[in-house]
Amino acid sequence: MDRNIDGLDTGSAHSARIYDYIIGGEDHYPADREAGDAMCREWPALPVHMRANRDFMNRAVRHLAEKAGIRQFLDVGTGIPTSPNIHEIAQSVSPDSRVVYVDNDPLVLRLSQGLLTSTPEGRTSYIEADMRDPASILQAPELRATLDLTRPIALTVIAIVHFMMDEDDAVGIVRRLLDPLPSGSHLAMSIGTAEFAPDEVGKVAREYAARGMPMRLRTFAEAEEFFTGLELVEPGVVQVHKWHPDGTGTEVTRDTDIAMYGVVARKP
Ligand SMILES: C[S@@+](CC[C@H](N)C(=O)[O-])C[C@H]1O[C@@H](n2cnc3c(N)ncnc32)[C@H](O)[C@@H]1O
């Protein structure tokens, strides 16, 4: 195992760094680039797909801030800071917006300073936690110090549940994170699917699995399960590039290039 000066394992590819490499970031190592290149050989649309996911996140956050009046965000599976980050979008709409970021990758922790560049009126904080232990997120002092749990909060879970296996019970985890949030809170998710390019996406999933990152891709019906009892924001469960496209996003022309459902819903 290669270790850099901070004791970080850089000899194995990691999902956050593969994603950073493919969407054009700067925080990755040779193992991540080797993995990313192998995946793009299997599915050349992978960069388009990943950028479309990030574009969806940006549009969903803007929608939540502008149209739903949300001023508080809990983002689980944040990834390596990539401008614009959620607080930059939310605070461009309302400078007093507050964001709590959560990830379990030590590199994200190391770079988390990039997530803490809040406006003076707002606030951001970072929690190092594993989503599979939702209590560790909900009980973290940073969460209670940053967010007011009596006012609506948007829970954003973007491009992460495909790393949750059936035994992890991703639907139950998301439900537990939503439970303490008040009425008027929202859930925004992107959910990996192989339904539009089964062969190619299946090969990419095998590349991840071969590097110790098994993937659980979901059908439309399985994606819908996350939203039982919530009010779907139009247009409901759609591929990410079809969720409120604004013409500023990635160069998506084909549904077969996108392996992610995007959804925003309101807690009644
Ligand atoms: C593909 S990235 C998505 C980043 C960002 N949400 C986006 O869509 O642009 C997935 C992130 O989830 C994080 N992650 C994966 N499993 C996790 C877990 N069990 N708990 C917390 N974070 C996790 C990874 O470290 C990585 O940063």
Residue type, 173: I
Domains held by the chain: number: 1
268 Cα–ligand 1 center, Å: 27
Contact 38, 69 (CB under 8 A): no
156 lines ligand 1 (CB under 6 A): no
Domain limits at 150? 4-266
Cis bond upstream, residue 84 (ω within 30): yes
Q: Measured from the CB, is residue 160 less than 6 Å from ligand 1? A: yes
Q: Give the separation between CA 64 and CA 74, rounded to whole angstroms.
A: 12
pLDDT for position 2: 46
CATH number, domain containing residue 118 = 3.40.50.150
Q: Indicate the helix (H) or strand (E) that contains 232.
A: strand 231-232
Separation of CA 165 and ligand 1 centre (Å)? 14
pLDDT the model gives residue 251: 63
The encoded tokens of residue 234 equal 């139009």
User: Could you give the CA distance from residue 55 to residue 158 in angstroms, rounded to a whole number?
Assistant: 11
For ligand 1, atom 11, the nearest C-alpha belongs to 77
Q: Determine the atom of ligand 1 nearest the C-alpha atom of 130.
A: 20
Beta-bridge partners for 231: 266
Q: Whose C-alpha lies nearest to ligand 1, atom 10?
A: 160
Q: Which residues pair with 75 in a beta bridge?
A: 101, 156
Structure confidence at residue 3 (pLDDT): 45
CA of 137 to the centre of ligand 1 (A): 14
Residue whose CA lies nearest to ligand 1 atom number 27: 79
61 lines ligand 1 (CB under 6 A): no
Tens of pLDDT along the chain (268 residues) come to: 344 546 578 889 999 999 999 999 999 999 999 999 999 999 999 999 999 999 999 999 999 999 999 999 999 999 999 999 999 999 999 999 999 999 999 889 989 998 999 999 999 999 999 999 999 999 999 999 999 999 999 999 999 999 999 999 999 999 999 999 999 999 999 999 999 999 999 999 999 999 999 999 999 999 999 999 999 999 999 999 999 998 876 666 799 999 999 999 999 9
